[in-house]
Structure 1
Amino acid sequence: MAKSIQMEELTLGVCYYPEHWPEELWEDDFRRMRELNISVIRMAEFAWAMLEPEEGVYDFSFFTRVMDLAHSYGLKVILGTPTATPPAWLTHKYPEVLNAHQNGELIKHGMRRHYNYSSSKYRELCERIVRNMVNAYKDHPAVIGWQIDNEFNCEKNVFYAEADHAAFRVWLKEKYGTLDNLNKAWGTVFWSQTYTAWEQLHLSQTESPNPHLALDEKRFISDNVISFARLQANIIRELAPQHWVTTNGLFGHLDSHELTDELLDFFSYDSYPQFSTIFPGQDEKPLMDRGWSMSLSNVRSISPNFCVMEQQAGPGGWVDRIEMGSPRPGQIRLWSYQSVLHGTDLLVYFRWRTATFGTEIYWHGINDYHNRPNRRVREVAQVGGEFAKIGAAIAGTQYQADVAIMQDYDNNWDAEMDKWHGPLQWQSKGSWYKQLQYRHIPADVITLRPNTSLEDLTQYKVIVYPHPAIMTDDTAELLTRYVEQGGKLFFGARTGYKDPSGQCYMRPFPGPVAELCGITVEDFTLVKGSIRAAELQWEGRLSSGTQAVGFNEVLHVENPEVKVAAEYATEYYQGEPALTRRPLGKGEVWYYGAAYSEPVVDAILDELGLTSPIADWVDVPADVELGIRASENASYAFLLNYSDQSVTIQVKQRAVDLLTGETLENEVEMPAYGVIILALQ
């Protein structure tokens, strides 16, 4: 059962760094926070040098004063353990705690996340500061919970210190038991890579390592992070069982589902929609900041109701990278409700006031340097007032979807190196999510895990699992039962040709799901150079004029039940099957020998007849995101206008806008970046 945050109402918070400001500002800051309906502050995650200015010398008085004053203003506090930024005395005295580049050169002090999780000395010092910190603050009435570290694997998600190489060897011994087993799994007979002693093993030492080693390396890093986090979680559980435990971020080489299941009360996320506008893609109508909803959907698969520990509150940028323009008037509020729609019940803005020094002086908070009222403050005040009005109704309701885009960690990690199926993943996931968004069909992003059950899958009418190169017979059996129960399942090119070690099967593609799909792959080519994307000729009601992009597999029908939905109309495989569908039990399975594009997804959605779940209630233009949060007793439709222009929606049945209390019907004008929440009867 997924773990969710438990809030009685939508709650607003802000990240606060009192160590950056004169103490005379604190009281005015807290007073103004309460005026904005901010009731939670998060702090201390980067303050190790203040808490332990020299080894073994602790001073917890500073944050005690801060929390005493915050408590007097009715503010609750989330404390971050400070292990993401070790102090200079620590890294200078114990250089073995530092991370290293791939060539072994140590990463020097001066940034953050420059440590390694494997160092026994670093773990010892982390345990010590966390234990002393929790003991110091566990009984403070303002504290409600703890954030472990900060953004695990952000900026650095590979590790090459000597301690990491040693820990990797221990991990491999535990996994494989013998070198014979390891050599077989890694195919080390290739290029004379056979290992004859454990000491010969290292994390990847080249830019193009053995791919099976590279896959295991990512699994090791994930396990190592979780092991490091467990040290801290166990201390908090022991000393402060009344407080909840979480951590924030969603970064590479970390199984955040396992981390949450094993250690946390719920997962938290840092939501910066403008990251989606920096690299919007090459498509004609990109989702831009609306595309951030796919990331939020991924978080929802970990915790259906979660905390956003950092919500974008201004333009973002470090001194040396990633500069973002200022959010337009209304966008901060829009992005706040984007997070709420997708499951956020505790929304914490980053940050209260923009830093005047340090690397993040261009990562703006609610307040500017001058500390005078601005439009961002006014916008947050509006959100705060609205949360006070609607928060009790929305909190605890959950996002509703009948369609899911499925992924898994092994394939995501393997795809980083495998250029034959890796690039297809983003293409297909993005195309499906985008077209579902524009058609107002809510979708989940779910992660297939070893403990995923049939019940987990059958709640969805449609599952898209586009390019799972790594596939097992057990997974194939689970997916077969899903289809038999009535599900519609979609695969794409390069499905099922690898085992869990990343080795290719000596069986016809798509390997374990060949029988399920009723087809085999007769031939294939990467679409590159002289090989152009083939045009498609569709059967039945499907449209024409679409291309099979990325990769083209020539399919061979093995089962007479299989119907060919589209053929290649050009290239040397003209007339051969490209898209097939096989009915099975109450459902059907589709196989597409390419990467999904927006036109292909559109054609398939037409064939499936999928429509918006509230099509009888409202007609909404494409620029508006539509989603539903519901409980057993209530249902709320969120309408979010991402356009810089006003749009008109058609309300077919009378409905009340929860934010204004107005009854809406017929034509309703939504302003640019406007938000409407309809209470559905």
Structure 2
Amino acid sequence: MTASPPGAHPLHAVGERLGGLAYGGDYNPEQWPEEVWPDDARLMREAGVNLVTVGVFAWSHIEPRPGVWDWGRLDRVLDLLHGHGVAVDLATPTAAPPPWFARAHPDALPVTADGRRLWHGSRQAFCPSHPAYAAAADRVVTALAERYADHPALALWHVHNEWGNHNALCYCDTSAAAFRDWLRRRYGTLDGLNHAWGTDFWSQRYGDWEEIVPPRGTTAFGNPTQELDFRRFSSDALLHRHRAETALLRAHSPGTPVTTNLMGTLEKKVDGFAFAEACDLVAVDHYLTAADPDAHVGLALNADLARGMAGGHPWLLMEHSTSAVNWQPVNIAKEPGEMRRNTLAHLARGADGALFFQWRQSRAGAEKWHSAMLPHGGTGTRVWREVTALGRDLRKLAEVRGSRTVADVAVLFDWHAWWALELPARPSSHLRYTDLVHDWYAAVWSLGITCDLVPPSAPLDGYRAVLAPGLYLLADDDAKRLHAYVQGGGHAAFGFFSGAVDADDRIHPGSHPGALRDLLGLAVDEYLPLHPGRFLSLDDGSRATTWAERIEPRGAEVHRSFAHTPEGGPAPGQPAVTRHTRGAGTAWYVATRLTPEPLRQTLGHLLRHAGVRPAAPVPPGVEAVRRVSGDRSYLFLLNHTPSEASVAVRGTDLLTGEHHDPLCLAAGDVAVLLEDRD
């Protein structure tokens, strides 16, 4: 999208308060004796920390018994931090109810689909719809807001923690009643619900609202639309709690921005776009998958999704790790320099600050092996040296704050399509929504193109190209918007099995691909999923896997076909990649899962035709992303390879002060160029 200068966005105000980019992490002083706290504050300043998140898991300290408050510890912590010039992102502690809550309200603990009650002993052990939880949460949020609304350390309110990470789906009787209320609001009548759910199948037609329950464990496949709606309801139930807490904070603390830490593609369970709309500014957590050699591509994808959730505005990286995490099968430590590169990659893609989980590494509990800014070994460690060096780097990049990342391409991302695609009884249980999105995103990343990840309902007019890797579910209004985009001169590409069902998971009328049939100029006679490990050849020698289709072109021109081979295949001679002119634009269809290089070539052809160009001419493995503010342009260059790279660019590196023309970027290094004006 077109970049614009900073304005009155809430994150801009936070940055003004901090005097630059945000830097810090979760601070949990309740885990440590009070005599440690002054050292924490002193070392924070040494590291360049200017913002810490406090109170995320402090409920049992704040309210040790129901209605009994103990503010002394938190008072002293906030005063100490303010005295050392460290601002606070103050969290509501509602993600971890104390043991007394579970004892008093055992019926408020979550229940699984097979009826098993989950007990206290971790976090998020509550039913999101239970009135006892709502009352307790509202009480602690109100008390917190009343006490600290005017505290000089307060810069930002942080609602809850990672909504729905562990308790998104509760199947208890309280959730069942709330689900029925949600369905009444959605459908109005039982006739409307019966039509949407297709309940004439398997004698499921409902005659009374009380007959409806969540999709609990049953004898065979459940009703897919019931399951889809239950996911929507469950996301909305959590969103209702988010809005309730937010309203209390705003009532007592008007003018202080409110956010929460969303999880992007790390979490399937809630609709991130809906939560983002309910925040003053978008903040996300992101952790690398250590076993993925291309984890930096997944990092970029999630950063672009964060920017999409923020509507193109700058956003805040609320959590990432200095080194190893604690929850993967093998928790691999980051290589020297990797933390810096990860952090600056997030900044390149729109973050106006970077925080870690957590400040001081825990000595006890489930996350004691999760890395932190201040490790077990203290200030003599490699991680601490890198943390303090990163703080110096961020101070040098202060002027980047408020600038906007430039993207000419939109990748459509939709939690509802994700939920629907991965329900049971699809043509293939081997389709994973995020795999499809990652395939296409990785191809575009390798071309040096920056994307916004946005919902299908987003305005698309400002993009030169729109890519839709996995729109299995496509609502009618969104389909119309895509038709209008292409008719008006846009260039779009759609992945296989797109447009198959409407918002109720009902097959679109007529031949497949339903909502996209006329736009793509073709009809799909049959979907042809493949067994895992099976490959198909195309007529140009490229290969594909997972999926094929039997297609009848109806105006579309064929660019690639499935080949006739001795080993055979389900669709020999059938179109595999098509292009259709529609109005002033073009719509492409990729009817199979191309392997990486053919997919890269296909999308590259489309993007060149659409006039999309990379931010800079970089060699493979070097990432180039541009942020712009007014007439100032900042080019981030990140070398993910083990070799030095030469890049034909001109500008002054804000990190070193050196002018380059061209730039020689060392292996694993990062440069942030204030580009020379032509």
State if a TM-score over 0.5 links the two structures. yes
Whole-Å separation in 2 of the counterparts to 1:65 and 1:424: 48
Query: In the alignment, which residue of structure 2 is the partner of 1:18?
Result: 29
SS in 1 for 2:650: strand
Comparing 400-409 with 137-146, greater Cα deviation is found at 400-409
1:483-498 superposed matches below 5 A: 483-498=486-501
1:266 to partner: Cα distance: 0.9
Whole-Å separation in 2 of the counterparts to 1:619 and 1:515: 37
SS in 2 for 1:351: coil
CA distance 1:252–1:608, shift in 2 (3 Å) = closer
- 2:470 pairs with one of 467, 472, 475: 467
Whole-Å separation in 2 of the counterparts to 1:252 and 1:532: 28
Asked whether the equivalents of residues 12 and 347 of structure 1 are also in contact (C-alpha less than 8 Å), the reply is: yes
SS in 2 for 1:554: strand
1:576 to partner: Cα distance: 2.2
- 1:536 pairs with one of 535, 538, 545: 538
Whole-Å separation in 2 of the counterparts to 1:22 and 1:500: 53
Query: In the alignment, which residue of structure 1 is the partner of 2:5?
Result: none
Matched, 1:676 2:671: yes
CA-based RMSD of the aligned residues comes to 2.2
Query: In the alignment, which residue of structure 1 is the partner of 2:191?
Result: 180
Whole-Å separation in 2 of the counterparts to 1:394 and 1:583: 41
With structure 2 as the length reference, what TM-score do the two structures score?
0.92
1:329 to partner: Cα distance: 0.9
Query: In the alignment, which residue of structure 2 is the partner of 1:302?
Result: 309
Query: In the alignment, which residue of structure 1 is the partner of 2:652?
Result: 656
* Number of residue pairs matched by the alignment: 651
Whole-Å separation in 1 of the counterparts to 2:271 and 2:22: 28
Matched, 1:233 2:237: no
Asked whether the equivalents of residues 110 and 127 of structure 2 are also in contact (C-alpha less than 8 Å), the reply is: yes
SS in 2 for 1:30: helix
Asked whether the equivalents of residues 463 and 489 of structure 1 are also in contact (C-alpha less than 8 Å), the reply is: yes
Whole-Å separation in 2 of the counterparts to 1:297 and 1:353: 29
CA distance 1:657–1:211, shift in 2 (3 Å) = same
Asked whether the equivalents of residues 375 and 383 of structure 2 are also in contact (C-alpha less than 8 Å), the reply is: no
Matched, 1:394 2:400: yes
1:156 to partner: Cα distance: 3.0
Query: In the alignment, which residue of structure 2 is the partner of 1:213?
Result: 226
Asked whether the equivalents of residues 639 and 645 of structure 2 are also in contact (C-alpha less than 8 Å), the reply is: no
CA distance 1:68–1:137, shift in 2 (3 Å) = same
Q: Which runs of 4+ in 1 moved over 6 A?
A: 1-4, 611-615
Query: In the alignment, which residue of structure 2 is the partner of 1:283?
Result: none
Describe the superposition over 1:433-454 as per-residue Cα deviations: whole angstroms up to 9, x where unpaired: 11222221222211123xx3xx
Query: In the alignment, which residue of structure 1 is the partner of 2:125?
Result: 114
Whole-Å separation in 1 of the counterparts to 2:515 and 2:585: 19
1:369-518 superposed matches below 5 A: 369-391=376-398, 393-418=399-424, 419-420=426-427, 423=431, 425-449=433-457, 452=458, 456-518=459-521
Describe the superposition over 1:42-86 as per-residue Cα deviations: whole angstroms up to 9, x where unpaired: 111101110011011111111101111111111111111011000
- 1:647 pairs with one of 644, 648, 651: 644
Matched, 1:582 2:577: no
Whole-Å separation in 2 of the counterparts to 1:602 and 1:123: 49
1:371 to partner: Cα distance: 2.7
Residue identity opposite 1:656 in structure 2: T
Asked whether the equivalents of residues 102 and 120 of structure 2 are also in contact (C-alpha less than 8 Å), the reply is: yes
1:513 to partner: Cα distance: 1.8
CA distance 1:446–1:4, shift in 2 (3 Å) = farther
- 1:312 pairs with one of 311, 321, 324: 321
CA distance 1:532–1:104, shift in 2 (3 Å) = closer
Describe the superposition over 1:236-278 as per-residue Cα deviations: whole angstroms up to 9, x where unpaired: 01001131100002232322222232x31012111222x2x33
Query: In the alignment, which residue of structure 2 is the partner of 1:245?
Result: 258
Whole-Å separation in 1 of the counterparts to 2:251 and 2:271: 24
Query: In the alignment, which residue of structure 1 is the partner of 2:273?
Result: 257
Query: In the alignment, which residue of structure 1 is the partner of 2:4?
Result: none
Q: Which runs of 5+ in 2 are unaligned?
A: 2-7
- 1:631 pairs with one of 626, 629, 632: 629
Query: In the alignment, which residue of structure 2 is the partner of 1:364?
Result: 371
Asked whether the equivalents of residues 492 and 596 of structure 1 are also in contact (C-alpha less than 8 Å), the reply is: no
Whole-Å separation in 1 of the counterparts to 2:604 and 2:276: 38
Whole-Å separation in 1 of the counterparts to 2:377 and 2:557: 67
Comparing 186-195 with 81-90, greater Cα deviation is found at 186-195
Whole-Å separation in 2 of the counterparts to 1:223 and 1:342: 29
Matched, 1:550 2:546: yes
Asked whether the equivalents of residues 258 and 280 of structure 2 are also in contact (C-alpha less than 8 Å), the reply is: yes
Whole-Å separation in 2 of the counterparts to 1:136 and 1:589: 56
Q: Which runs of 5+ in 1 are unaligned?
A: 281-285, 538-543
Whole-Å separation in 1 of the counterparts to 2:542 and 2:488: 31
Whole-Å separation in 1 of the counterparts to 2:530 and 2:634: 44
Whole-Å separation in 2 of the counterparts to 1:152 and 1:420: 31
Asked whether the equivalents of residues 305 and 396 of structure 1 are also in contact (C-alpha less than 8 Å), the reply is: yes
Describe the superposition over 1:399-436 as per-residue Cα deviations: whole angstroms up to 9, x where unpaired: 11112211223211101215437716334322221122
Whole-Å separation in 1 of the counterparts to 2:67 and 2:31: 24
SS in 2 for 1:115: coil
Residue identity opposite 1:552 in structure 2: A
CA distance 1:226–1:586, shift in 2 (3 Å) = same
Comparing 372-381 with 81-90, greater Cα deviation is found at 372-381
1:626 to partner: Cα distance: 1.5
Whole-Å separation in 2 of the counterparts to 1:342 and 1:618: 15
Whole-Å separation in 1 of the counterparts to 2:86 and 2:25: 11
Matched, 1:289 2:296: yes
Whole-Å separation in 1 of the counterparts to 2:613 and 2:181: 54
